[in-house]
Amino acid sequence: MKFSRIFTRILIGLAVVLVVIGLFVLKTFKDAGQFKTIKSHCDCQCTPVDGIVGPEDITIDPETKIAFVSSDDRRASERGDSVQGAIYAYSLNPSSPFLTNLTTDLPFAFHPHGITLYQSEEGRKYLSVINHRDNDHFIEIFEFTNMKLNHLESINGPLMTSPNDIISVGPRQFYVTNDHGAVSSRGRKVEEYLQLANSYVLYYDGSEFRKAAGDIAYANGIAISPDGRIVYVAAVVGRYIRVFERDGKTGILTHRQDIDLGTGVDNIEIDEQGTLWVGSHPQMLTFVKHSGDASVLSPSQVLKISSDSDGTYNIKEVYLNTGEEISASSVAAVYRNRMLIGAVFDDHFLDCTFSE
């Protein structure tokens, strides 16, 4: 009888463990969006722009109507076959569009990720780029002039362990997201699947890095309002955008609110009117499969987020695709009625025109 009671308790304990594991798996699938129905739609016409691999981030200079595109063959790097990445210029002039590699002669390994464009009061334009070199992470600062990128300097620091995206607030002052708190590959996987809020934002004041904000579930894209007062940080695993008030003198970020979006938000771009455009991954586990196998399509999504005077945000899904037109959308940059959609791995980006 005693053995029977012990055996029964063991069975009950195992059953409880299995139920807990099952519920955790279901929650993970639900949070990742795996149960969503994807029906492609967009009130726009899109044309693929070929000849560019891994166009993960895009930002537009409204003055010159030039889009800067960050390109890197991430799958080749995973295979150990490192291919030099590039920053491309893409003209938004409808009569003469062109795609030009602006970084053909860099004397160092170049694997660009997030990018940001800053214009000084004197009109000088600086493009800052996260670069994952073979042995460390750097911020490469370029000056854009006469359709050329002139490399000015490389900045790195021990706090910048997993940089993802960047936003400049000066010629050599910027915020950068560290998308993981853990350094090891195993630790980062634990953060992702347990949805741990261990990532953070760094601020570089021109001389040193310091932590500006923390407790973010996979900090990814970052953007700043046109007046420089609000900083937006995308949390992929958390499925929200965190809104911060920024102290322009000290660079300190104060958490104001979260915009819950229920999707894997990636990069954030802000147009001239202050509207947020967000490239997203509506099914994050499918994205993980896609990252390892190009034949697995990953749905793409673009959200448009505008704010009211009372501080509320209006969210509109302007683009959704099963992944056939473009897989794993990571950014949407908008100028007037044009929208450029980039992706993490695909060999093209989309140039879309909204219907009038």
Distance of alpha carbon 26 from alpha carbon 20, whole angstroms? 10
Structural contact between residues 56 and 41, judged by C-beta atoms closer than 8 angstroms: no
Determine the 3-state secondary structure of 155 from DSSP.
Answer: strand
Residue 113 is among the residues annotated as catalytic for this protein: yes
Greatest Cα pair distance, the chain, in angstroms, is: 88
Tokens of 8: 């029964």
Contacts 24+ apart (CB under 8 A), 145-151: 147/66, 147/89, 147/100, 147/102, 148/102, 149/87, 149/102, 149/103, 151/106
Q: What is the DSSP letter of 129?
A: E
Element counts in the chain: helices (H) and strands (E): 4, 25
Residues written for the chain? 356
Distance of alpha carbon 140 from alpha carbon 187, whole angstroms? 28
Tokens of 303: 């959200």
Best CA proximity match to 342, nearest among 300, 304, 306: 300
Distance of alpha carbon 207 from alpha carbon 96, whole angstroms? 42
Question: What are phi and psi for residue 78, nearest 5 degrees?
Answer: -65, -30
Q: What is the DSSP letter of 326?
A: S
Tokens of 273: 């009117």
Question: What are phi and psi for residue 155, nearest 5 degrees?
Answer: -125, 135
Q: Of the residues 41, 111, 113, 137, which is catalytic?
A: 113
Pair type for strands 137-145 and 230-235: unpaired
Active site residues: 113
